[in-house]
Amino acid sequence: MHELALVTAILSAVEEVHQKERGKIRKIRVHLGELQGLDREVIREHLEAGLKEMGIGAGYELVEEEASFRCRRCGRLWNLRELELSSEVREYIHFLPEAVYAYVRCPSCGTHDYEIAGGRGARVSFVLEG
64 forms beta bridges with: 32
Is the pLDDT at 19 greater than 80? The verdict is: yes
Q: Please, are residues 113 and 71 in contact by the beta-carbon 8 Å criterion?
A: yes
Q: What CATH number corresponds to the domain at position 79?
A: 3.30.2320.80
Please state, rounded to an integer, the average pLDDT across all residues of the chain. 93
What are the φ and ψ backbone dihedral angles of 41, each rounded to 5 degrees? -70, -40
- Number of C-alpha atoms within 13 angstroms, CB side, residue 15? 13
pLDDT for the residue numbered 91: 85
Report the distance separating Cα 68 and Cα 62, nearest Å. 18
Give the model confidence (pLDDT) of 63-102 as tens digits: 999 999 999 999 999 998 899 999 999 888 888 888 999 9
As a residue count, the chain comes to 130
Q: Domain total for the chain?
A: 1
Q: pTM for this structure?
A: 0.81
